[in-house]
Amino acid sequence: MLVDVDAAVISNARLSDDYSVVALAAPDIAAHARPGQFVMIKPCRGIDPLLRRPFSIFEILRDGDGEPAGISLLNKRIGVGTSLLYDVLPGSRIQCLGPLGQPFDTIDPPAEAWMIAGGVGLAPFVTLAEALRGRGTKMRLFYGARRATELYYVDEFERLGAEVTLSTEDGSRGERGFVTVPLDAALATTPAAREVRLFACGPTPMMRAVAKLAARRRRRCDVSLEQVMGCGMGGCYSCVVLTQAPGGSPHFVRSCIDGPVFDSTRIMWDALTH
Amino acid sequence: MDLSVSLGSLTLANPLIAASGCFGYGVEYADAVDLSTLGGVAVKGLFLSERQGHPPPRIVETPAGMLNAIGLQGIGVHRFVREKLPELRDRRAVVFVNVCGTTIDEYCEVSRVLSDHEGVAAIELNISCPNIKEGGITFGCSLTGTHAVVSAVRKVTPLPVIPKLTPNVTDVASFARAAEEAGADAVSLVNTFLAMAIDVHTRRPKLSNIVGGLSGPAIRPIAVRMVYECRQAVKLPIIGMGGIATADDVLEFMIAGANAVQVGTANFVDPLIWPKLLDGLRDYMTRHAIARLGDIIGRLDTTKRETAWISS
């Protein structure tokens, strides 16, 4: 069910000079959202900037009775829209359309779910981890950032039962280097008989590297792609990704309605990073 | 309260049509919007065969607007009538099909295929897309080209033929006149304005196609002026568009001379805009005691008015 809510900002918690978590009162969206889905946010009134922005649903917020009350967004200040959202004040209102897009598959034991997150690519994994915990599915989180101060919500994932492996580019926390280093090591030491499914979200080069590792180790990998999006509804054809089915010819598909989650083997990565 | 408007032989329940290229094939919105409540749905431009379009980035935001260079990605007319038209028919949508071509023969062939299927209300001839090299705008930027495409398609289909005009010409009214002389049933205008945006840090164009079409509120005053000029030049019904985002914007186009309007970019911002626009039109009719919305078409008051301080 799709709804457009003039959602009140419950809080805007600054995590750093760039990151914040914006909580929105949007019970209908919260009640219908599935892991990995997104919302389209209008970060201001008026017509400049004009378009909405896509955001992963970061958390489902619940009231005292455990009923869905709202959602939160993990926001990283990059452009005009994200800067407006970073500065948004509690009590103000934000137009919020959703839930949108194809969710992650939630898998059951004995299969394991390994989530690989880079930076703000952590955003779709809280909802996935909650769903997996509900199914008793064993999960790991490989989470990389530039530095220790840009790793967030680690305790939350541990509370949800995920085994967390951290890495930072400057070595200030966890392993030094890209998140793919510990991932590769873990894949190499995991018997093929254990069913492991990878879920990746982060910078395109990271997802591409994860997809490559997955292919080499014959593991299925789903990636959540972020593209410039005009409408989120399949109307504008701006968020397309070049894909190829086995034996088929390449064609552009809309990441808003066919994605944002894709089987990584469908993606023509050269076209995406170009 | 009567919101219906006439476009030649067509009567629409209201003047609001979803603009081509901004509403997919209509079916994408069918769960969110009751398509039968719209005056019409103009589906994405169709060639004979499938077409991939341009690589991303395909859009970029600009002040109060956006540029697009999608490149008419599409499934082709045959898949459209097979895969999309039945659902549009079931949903009781009034379907305007935007027809593209690289040659006059292709425009005719696509139109013929559509004419053989039930559920198409009208053909909108895309002779104005700024983002493809061959066909399209090359016809729309030449008076003889416009005349040739319209009269050729006119001969092969019983459906209303509505050329969509480009604003990227010196005198758009002369193109409306050429369309009228060639037997068009109406004209729609305007398509997007050819435009460009550059990332100064990388010195690269922000669109993969380098240039694209500007739409959104930024273009509205120019589009209103062009509709007004065409209203003076032709008797044909006019479908006006360009940056419409509120009921007042709809009314502005109608007063300038549009019989109906299309809403495009605003639908990206708010896909649930349609009932809001209709409510706004009803409020206006109530406030101004207008029983038939059609009565305001072209009723621009340009009489000179004495101001109070002069007369006193």
Is residue A76 within a helix (H) or strand (E), and if so which, with residue range?
strand A68-76
Tell whether A267 lies on the interface with B, counting CB pairs under 8 A: no
With beta carbons less than 8 A apart as the criterion, state whether B260 and B293 touch.
no
What tokens does B22 get?
A: 């901004």
- Residue A88 domain-assigned? yes
**Same structural domain, A77 and A136:** no
Q: How far apart are CA B180 and CA B183, in angstroms?
A: 5
Residue of A nearest to B215 (CA): A50
**Residue B238: CA count within 13 A, CB half-sphere:** 32
Q: How far apart are CA B43 and CA A220, in angstroms?
A: 37
Under 8 Å between Cβ of B254 and B297 = yes
Q: Indicate if A137 and A191 belong to the same structural domain.
A: yes
Q: How far apart are alpha carbons A30 and A127 in whole angstroms?
A: 11
Which chain A residues touch B87 with a CB distance below 8 Å?
A: none
The answer to whether residue A232 sits within a structural domain is no
Q: Are residues A118 and A215 in the same domain?
A: yes
**Predicted pLDDT of residue A1:** 84
Q: Is residue A193 part of a domain?
A: yes
Residue whose tokens read 């900002």:
A9
**CATH number, domain with residue A191:** 3.40.50.80
Question: Token pair for residue A125?
Answer: 């994994």
Return the residue matching tokens 């039968």: B36
Q: Which residues of B are catalytic?
A: 129
pLDDT at residue B288, rounded to an integer = 97
The two tokens of residue B278 are 């209709």
Q: For residues A44 and A12, is the Cβ–Cβ distance under 8 A?
A: no
Of B44, B55, B269, the CB nearest to A50: B269
Q: Which helix (H) or strand (E) holds B95?
A: strand B95-99
**Inter-CA distances, B121 with A224, A225, A234, B7, B9, Å:** 40, 38, 23, 11, 10
Supply the CATH number for residue A19's domain.
2.40.30.10
Show the tokens assigned to A6: 């003039």
Tokens of A92: 């103000």
Q: Is the pLDDT of residue A274 over 60?
A: no
pLDDT exceeds cutoff 60 at A157 = yes
Sign of the CA dihedral running B244, B250, B252, B255: positive
Q: How high is the pLDDT of residue B307?
A: 67
Residues from chain B contacting residue A237 (CB–CB below 8 Å): 21, 24, 44, 53, 58, 70, 73
Provide the residue count of chain A: 274
CB contact under 8 A, B22 and A95: no
CA distance A138 to B54: 42
- Tokens 């909108």 correspond to B124
* Strand, coil or helix: B201: coil
| Same domain (yes/no): A91, A128 | no
Mean pLDDT by 10 residues, chain B (312 residues): 96 98 97 97 97 95 97 96 98 97 95 97 91 74 95 97 96 98 98 97 97 98 98 98 98 98 98 98 98 97 75 54
Residue to substitute from A50, A204, A273, interface B, most B β-carbons within 10 A = A50
Instruction: Flag whether A259 is in a domain.
Output: no
**Mean pLDDT across the stretch A108-116?**
97
pLDDT in tens, A12-33: 999 999 999 999 999 999 999 9
pTM exceeds 0.90? yes
CA angle at B267 for the pair B127 and B200, rounded to the nearest 5°: 75
Does residue A191 belong to any structural domain of this protein? yes
Residue of A nearest to B269 (CA): A51
User: Computed from CA positions of residues B252, B253, B254, B256, in that sequence, does the dihedral angle turn out positive or negative?
Assistant: positive
Q: Which two tokens stand for residue A143?
A: 């989470």
* A246 in a structural domain: no
* Vertex A102 angle, CA B36 and A144, to 5°: 145
Across chain A, mean pLDDT equals 95
Task: Report whether B167 contacts B137 (CB < 8 A).
Answer: no
Considering the domain architecture, whether residues A59 and A86 belong to the same structural domain is answered as yes
CB–CB contacts below 8 A, A to B? 96
Coil, strand, or helix at residue A72?
strand
Question: Does ipTM top 0.85?
Answer: yes
Q: Are residues A125 and A218 in the same domain?
A: yes
Q: What is the pLDDT of residues A185-207, one digit of tens each?
A: 999 999 999 999 999 999 999 99
Residue A147 amino acid letter: R
Among the partner residues B23, B31, B70, nearest to A238 by beta-carbon distance: B70
Spatial distance between the Cα atoms of A11 and A88, rounded to a whole number of angstroms: 9
Q: Determine whether the interchain pair A2/B58 forms a contact, defined as Cβ–Cβ distance below 8 Å.
A: no
Chain A neighbors of B52, CB-CB under 8 A:
251-252
* β-sheet bridge partners, residue A72: A23, A59
Same domain, A54 and A81: yes
Whether A132 maps to a domain, the answer reads yes
Cα B242 to Cα B188: distance, rounded to the nearest angstrom: 11
What residues in B contact A95, CB-CB < 8 Å?
Answer: 270
Chain B contact residues (CB < 8 Å to A)? 21-24, 28-29, 31-32, 44, 50, 52-53, 55-61, 63-66, 68, 70, 73, 216-217, 245, 265, 267-272
Boundary residue ending a domain (A225, A247, A266): A225
**Boundary-marking domain end, from A66, A100, A134:** A100
**Going by DSSP bridges, is the β-strand pair B65-68/B161-164 parallel, antiparallel, or unpaired?**
unpaired
Q: Per the domain annotation, does A181 fall within a domain?
A: yes
With b for 16 or more beta-carbon neighbours within 10 A and e for fewer, the B62-98 pattern comes to: bebbbbbbbbbbbbbbeebbeebbeebeebebbbbbb
| Cα angle for residues B136, B141, B142 (degrees, 5° grid) | 110
Do residues B45 and B98 lie in contact, with contact meaning Cβ atoms separated by under 8 Å? Answer: yes
Least Cα separation, residue A62 to chain B (angstroms) = 26
Give yes or no: residues A141 and A198 share one domain. yes
Q: Which domain holds residue A78?
A: 3-100
Our count of domains for chain A comes to 2
* Domain end among A69, A100, A131: A100
- Among residues A89, A162, A172, the alpha carbon closest in space to that of A122 is found at A162
Are A97 and B271 within 8 A, CB to CB? yes
Q: Which domains are seen in chain B, by residue range?
A: 5-311 (3.20.20.70)
**Same domain (yes/no): A152, A216:** yes
